[in-house]
């Protein structure tokens, strides 16, 4: 068994990259090389396009990619949540069919969880999946679904038993988004993007082989997806920034960011763009204002604390610990950082922070931060949901009084007619 050390991993990664990286390669060809070698996602299992590397050593590999200018596997977006869920709960068929195409970027994914009548109550989903003949037939509506208009596949949470309790009547599926019966309608956001969609499912079909885990285990699988989403909240700060290097492979990366991955372009802005704060403060002279300096100090303290929380989460993952409440801690911390960053950006730029266009601060990026950061407090579970999880699972405080516990779902009052 290989004893992994920082020096060993660095030497192996550096040697492989120096022998294989070429900016003249086709992007798809490069990602297939990464899949075959395992260096693209080295903490994945070696039999599924990884190298069994401890998560704590992955930053060493990332440093070597940055040193040589090699493009990594994009780790933002729903496809990585799909990969994590399939690795945890999927069948061998799911892994064979989907994982490599996730690594190469051939398939786009979306997450069909939220519904108009459920708000943050994910377990209140009313979209139904009914077995008709030899396949599941799905009817319902989902909303706030990123990339649904581009997706090939969707992670679907649907109700398969109205007589079971709220959490026990749910099942988890992988659904073909390009089939008849799946209609997507993009929703225009106030920041100018249209990343989200409402999705109407009308007699859409799912084969039994595309059911993930056991019937009625949907809540457990969905929790895995959400924990990975919350754990990854800190990784959104830098993704989507167009590379400036020259070469055919960089041109293809830029084209992918502008098209397929366009729904995620504003994610660094929703995270607050802390990376711009010091630069802006020095350029504008705001760094000389003691009140501004004090707020910058507070922000950087929050930012570093959030980073350390994320590292603690990765350490827990490295030790093989199950997804836990540290994901909620990190998600809430990221939300607080984004809010504090928006405040500091406003202090630095003043009324100019409301301007967009070429002559605005950072070509409109600061204005985009101010109208995008509220999403951090909502996506992946609201701040209020995270606080409940932290209070109950970390602080061991009494749970909220529930009025639906033990009742069949069909007998629970809800906002929609099913």
Is 19 or 195 the better-scoring residue by pLDDT?
Answer: 19
Q: Is there a catalytic annotation at residue 229?
A: yes
User: For position 131, what pLDDT does the model report?
Assistant: 97
Residue 329's Cβ-count burial label (10 Å; 0-12, 13-18, 19+) is: buried
pLDDT per residue over 300-359, tens digit each? 999 998 888 777 766 666 566 665 666 778 888 889 999 999 999 999 999 999 998 888
pLDDT per residue over 200-214, tens digit each? 999 999 999 999 989
DSSP state of 187: E
Give dist(CA 162, CA 168) in Å, integer.
Answer: 9
User: For position 399, what pLDDT does the model report?
Assistant: 85
Domain ranges of the chain: 12-73, 74-265+401-418, 268-380
Nearest Cα to Cα of residue 190 among 368, 352, 351, 363: 368
Task: Say whether 144 sits in a helix, a strand or coil.
Answer: coil
User: For position 169, what pLDDT does the model report?
Assistant: 95
Q: What is the mean pLDDT of residues 36-60?
A: 93
For strands 182-187 and 196-206, give the pairing: antiparallel
Is 145 or 118 the better-scoring residue by pLDDT?
Answer: 145
Say what percent of the chain tops pLDDT 70.
Answer: 91
Q: In this structure, which topology does domain 74-265+401-418 adopt according to CATH?
A: Butyryl-CoA Dehydrogenase, subunit A; domain 2 (2.40.110)
Is 348 or 408 the better-scoring residue by pLDDT?
Answer: 348
Query: Under 8 Å CB-to-CB from 83, ≥6 apart: which residues?
Result: 98, 99, 102, 103
Q: Which of 64, 229, 253, 362 is catalytic?
A: 229
Q: What is the mean pLDDT of residues 49-54?
A: 93
The neighbouring-strand residues paired with 211 are 173
Q: Is residue 233 pLDDT above 60, yes or no?
A: no
Q: Tell me the DSSP string of 10-74.
A: HHHHHHHHHHH--TTS-HHHHHHHHHHHS-SSTTS-GGGTS----GGGHHHHHHHHHHHT-----
pLDDT per residue over 142-183, tens digit each? 999 999 999 999 999 999 999 999 999 999 999 999 999 999
Helix, strand counts (H, E) of the chain: 14, 8
Angle value at C-alpha 115, between 399 and 154, nearest 5 degrees: 110
Nearest Cα to Cα of residue 73 among 239, 260, 316, 264: 239
Contact 310, 228 (CB under 8 A): no
Q: Would you mind telling me the total number of residues written for the chain in this entry? A: 418
Task: Give the sign of the dihedral formed by CA 262, CA 205, CA 211, CA 131.
Answer: positive
Q: Is residue 361 pLDDT above 70, yes or no?
A: yes
């Amino acid at each position: 068994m290989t004893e992994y050390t920082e020096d060993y991993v660095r030497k192996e990664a550096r040697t492989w990259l120096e022998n294989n990286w070429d900016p003249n390669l086709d992007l798809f060809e490069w990602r297939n090389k990464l899949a075959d070698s395992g260096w693209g996602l080295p903490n994945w299992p070696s039999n599924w396009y990884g190298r069994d590397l401890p998560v704590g050593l992955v930053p060493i590999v990332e440093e070597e990619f940055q040193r040589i200018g090699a493009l990594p596997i994009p780790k933002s977006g729903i496809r990585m949540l799909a990969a994590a869920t399939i690795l945890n709960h999927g069948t061998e068929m799911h892994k064979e069919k989907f994982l490599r195409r996730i690594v190469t970027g051939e398939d786009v994914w979306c997450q069909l969880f939220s519904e108009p009548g459920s708000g943050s109550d994910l377990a209140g989903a009313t979209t139904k999946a009914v077995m008709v003949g030899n396949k599941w037939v799905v009817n319902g509506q989902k909303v706030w679904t990123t990339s649904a208009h581009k997706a090939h596949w969707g992670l679907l949470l649907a109700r398969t038993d109205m007589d079971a309790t709220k959490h026990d009547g749910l099942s988890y599926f992988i659904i073909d988004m390009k089939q008849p019966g799946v209609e997507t309608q993009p929703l225009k956001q106030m920041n100018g993007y249209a990343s989200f969609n409402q999705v109407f499912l009308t007699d859409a079909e799912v084969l039994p082989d595309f059911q993930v885990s056991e019937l009625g285990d949907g809540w457990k699988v969905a929790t895995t997806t959400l924990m990975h989403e919350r754990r990854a909240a800190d990784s959104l700060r830098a993704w989507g920034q167009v590379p400036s290097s020259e070469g055919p492979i960089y041109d293809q990366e830029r084209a992918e960011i502008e098209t397929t991955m366009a729904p995620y372009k504003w994610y660094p802005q929703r995270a607050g763009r802390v990376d711009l704060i010091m630069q802006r403060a020095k350029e504008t002279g705001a760094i000389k204002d003691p009140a501004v300096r004090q707020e910058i100090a507070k922000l950087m303290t929050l930012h570093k604390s959030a980073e350390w929380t994320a590292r603690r989460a990765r350490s827990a993952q490295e030790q093989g610990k199950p997804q836990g409440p540290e994901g909620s801690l990190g998600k809430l911390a990221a939300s607080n950082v984004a809010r504090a960053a928006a405040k500091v950006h406003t202090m630095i730029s003043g009324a100019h922070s409301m301007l967009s266009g070429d002559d605005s601060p950072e070509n409109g990026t600061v204005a985009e931060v101010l109208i995008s950061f509220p999403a951090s407090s909502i996506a992946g579970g609201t701040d209020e949901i995270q606080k409940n999880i932290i209070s109950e699972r970390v602080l061991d405080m009494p749970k909220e009084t529930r009025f639906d516990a033990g009742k069949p779902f069909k007998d629970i009052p809800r906002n929609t007619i099913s």
